[in-house]
Chain A
């Protein structure tokens, strides 16, 4: 057993230098979700069982291969947190009956995309939080049903073109505030992360790992395939999501929301938008000043309230 996080993470050089998650997965080049998962797995380690819901990452473990050194259970799209409940309870029962030792215990980690987290799986997730289930939930949020070709989901941002919102103005709805929905349950911990900010991510995962109860993580997952950009700029897109204020890095703990990385001088939102094909209609054939202003104003409003 390799425990990676004995030391407290202060600086980039404190991050684990060897990586646990295997290579050669069928995820797309430049997958922001996989980037985050790599970083998360390095901290959580192999004494974990990942409970997966239908989504891109279901294809990580395809018989007879897996990139995980620990365990894995694929459930269905709606009920991964209920699978976590069954495993957690069973492990506790086995410990109580002294049929397994403490050494054999596992951290139970739910891994789902936004399609499950923001929609179909919300009932099961709410139930797990209300029962104070001791588990970690990781949502990789690529803002659409990515595995089926990027149809809009409850996580899709306003104006984004998806394969089911191809009209002149893109998606008419607004991204659901899953952080607030989760925090309203008063779980032990809620945090947003992104793979492009590995230090912030590592600190949060380390913190989550040291706690008990429901620990809920949403990682924005820049998606070259679904968002239509060159895979090599995935990290840049991720950094811009933070610098523009589009993706606030924050955590909920003990009833308080704290922003962990406040962009002092926010880069204009359009710097983030213009790199992505899903927002190209805001710039070509001519600039859609009304929509661009609306998107900037939404971000400004958010930060005005922080």
Chain B
């Protein structure tokens, strides 16, 4: 195993910034938000110290930031931006809009739960809210993967068959602020891999006037142009595989659209995205030692959704325990819904069990992963269905009850004070 000179400890945020730097980005529209801010601080520092070229501009909001990012990409330069949570949602109108511009760039999202109640900690409701906007989505589990995915994302975004912006997602705190050893790719090798930006005909030049993002009248041209985005996303599946192979050949690290961990001979699989998938891997190893035939499927691509690959990887499995760090209110876990649609009507479709957990930074413990495996196997053996459930313990419920009790007492006391004052 080569521990090269370029192996260093860095956070997920720093890895994202390095990805942009190695991709030789021209332009960085920025806006601070926890837990993403370290990315733009790193980039700003490198530019200020003349360690790299590029221009970083802090604008008034994420909505403006994505507008500036799309407009610069539509003018013909390579663009990187980063946000998180409320910022991603504040930009939502422009996510849909710039995807329609077919102006490729890369946006890093550092996942964080959504308000209300407001929190700084991680879950995936922000990123799944952007599921349908037209951006491709790559979900990461390690800091190395964040850096490597950023390089790959430029290739995919700028590919002639795709021409769409890409989001690279990492989990707040668990990855954004966790330092891991990262192999820093050689700058020349990275530059050669990413290549120079080809704006194709998406640009503004005095000699070649262009109208971009114009209105359409009626559903016919609208349907045509919107469906083209969908087709480009579907084409991106093959493009992804091609670029993942090239990346592996160049850098020796392979990232499939779905990471299949010890799943070939497995009867049961966990299905989950993001940093907590490494906990599931550890659980798989321990359960294997205890005689289980169990594995993990971790989609890196949420959009485009790797349907065929899922169908083949899940064929013949007894059950899949889908663990969502999100809730579609009134329905349930989004990954579970996606998988259900993919497996519907498939022969040998496994039982799909839905678990929601890890919301707002809540941990998912090893014991819970074991329990998930156990109840899923039991349902399988008994031929019963398994209702969706939230990972939430009795101890946690007691903690919430305590907080509520304190709140009630405080409110009652405060009310008492007000009544006394009024009686004075």
Q: Which residues of A are at the interface with B, using a C-beta cutoff of 8 A?
A: 1, 46-47, 49, 51, 58-59, 61-63, 66, 68-76, 78-87, 89-94, 97, 99-100, 103-106, 123-124, 126-127, 131
Known: A62-B216, A70-B209, A73-B213. A87 touches B67 (CB 8 A): no
Task: Please report whether the interface of chain A is mostly helix, strand, loop or mixed according to DSSP.
Answer: mixed
Task: Name the residue of chain A whose CB is nearest to the CB of B225.
Answer: A63
| Closest Cβ–Cβ distance, residue B99 to chain A (whole Å) | 13
| A-contacting residues, B202-256, CB 8 Å | 204-207, 209-217, 221
Known: A79-B63, A86-B29. A58 touches B215 (CB 8 A): yes
Inter-chain contacts of B79 with A (CB < 8 A): 86
Question: Would you call B178 an interface residue if the criterion is a C-beta within 8 Å of the partner chain's C-beta atoms?
Answer: no
A/B interface sample: 7 pairs, CB < 8 A: A69-B209, A86-B68, A86-B71, A89-B55, A89-B68, A93-B55, A104-B207
A79 contacts B67, C-beta separation under 8 Å? yes
Q: Please, how many residues of chain B have a CB less than 8 angstroms from a CB on the other chain? A: 40
A85 contacts B59, C-beta separation under 8 Å? yes
Q: Which residues of B are at the interface with A, using a C-beta cutoff of 8 A?
A: 26-27, 29, 55, 57, 59-61, 63-65, 67-77, 79, 93-94, 97, 204-207, 209-217, 221
| Closest Cβ–Cβ distance, residue B180 to chain A (whole Å) | 33
Residue of A71, A90, A126, A127 ringed by the most chain B CB atoms within 10 A: A90
B205 contacts A86, C-beta separation under 8 Å? no
A93 contacts B213, C-beta separation under 8 Å? no
Inter-chain contacts of A82 with B (CB < 8 A): 29, 59-60, 63-65, 67-68, 71
Closest 8 CB pairs of A and B: A86-B71, A82-B64, A127-B60, A90-B75, A86-B68, A86-B72, A79-B67, A82-B67
Inter-chain contacts of A90 with B (CB < 8 A): 26-27, 71-73, 75-77, 204
Residue of A85, A89, A92, A106 ringed by the most chain B CB atoms within 10 A: A89
B205 contacts A83, C-beta separation under 8 Å? no
Known: A78-B63, A82-B59. A72 touches B206 (CB 8 A): no
Inter-chain contacts of A126 with B (CB < 8 A): 60
A79 contacts B94, C-beta separation under 8 Å? yes
* CA distance in complex: A111, B119 (Å): 38
A63 contacts B214, C-beta separation under 8 Å? yes
Task: Name the residue of chain B whose CB is nearest to the CB of A73.
Answer: B212
Across the interface, B211 reaches (CB within 8 A) one of A61, A79, A83, namely: A61
B60 contacts A124, C-beta separation under 8 Å? yes
Inter-chain contacts of B211 with A (CB < 8 A): 61, 66, 68, 71-73
Known: A86-B71, A91-B75. A123 touches B61 (CB 8 A): yes
A49 contacts B204, C-beta separation under 8 Å? yes
* CA distance in complex: A6, B27 (Å): 35
Inter-chain contacts of B26 with A (CB < 8 A): 90, 93, 97
A91 contacts B65, C-beta separation under 8 Å? no
Known: A82-B59, A82-B67, A93-B77. A75 touches B97 (CB 8 A): yes
Inter-chain contacts of A1 with B (CB < 8 A): 206
* CA distance in complex: A1, B73 (Å): 26
Inter-chain contacts of A94 with B (CB < 8 A): 75-77
A62 contacts B217, C-beta separation under 8 Å? yes
Known: A82-B64, A85-B68, A90-B76. A62 touches B205 (CB 8 A): no
Further 12 A-B residue pairs, CB within 8 A, beyond A71-B210, A82-B60, A86-B68: A51-B71, A63-B214, A74-B214, A76-B63, A82-B63, A82-B67, A86-B70, A89-B55, A89-B77, A90-B73, A92-B55, A123-B61
* CA distance in complex: A87, B205 (Å): 11
B27 contacts A89, C-beta separation under 8 Å? yes
Across the interface, B216 reaches (CB within 8 A) one of A63, A73, A103, namely: A63
A61 contacts B214, C-beta separation under 8 Å? yes
A76 contacts B67, C-beta separation under 8 Å? yes
Task: Name the residue of chain B whose CB is nearest to the CB of A125.
Answer: B60
Inter-chain contacts of A104 with B (CB < 8 A): 205-207
Task: Name the residue of chain B whose CB is nearest to the CB of A82.
Answer: B64
Known: A75-B67, A76-B67, A76-B94. A46 touches B215 (CB 8 A): no
* CA distance in complex: A201, B207 (Å): 28
* CA distance in complex: A89, B73 (Å): 10
B69 contacts A106, C-beta separation under 8 Å? no
Inter-chain contacts of A68 with B (CB < 8 A): 209, 211
B72 contacts A87, C-beta separation under 8 Å? yes
Task: Name the residue of chain B whose CB is nearest to the CB of A97.
Answer: B26
Across the interface, A71 reaches (CB within 8 A) one of B57, B60, B93, B209, namely: B209
Task: Name the residue of chain B whose CB is nearest to the CB of A62.
Answer: B215
A106 contacts B206, C-beta separation under 8 Å? yes
B64 contacts A124, C-beta separation under 8 Å? yes
A93 contacts B27, C-beta separation under 8 Å? yes
Across the interface, A127 reaches (CB within 8 A) one of B64, B69, B77, namely: B64
* CA distance in complex: A80, B212 (Å): 13
A83 contacts B71, C-beta separation under 8 Å? yes
Inter-chain contacts of A80 with B (CB < 8 A): 67
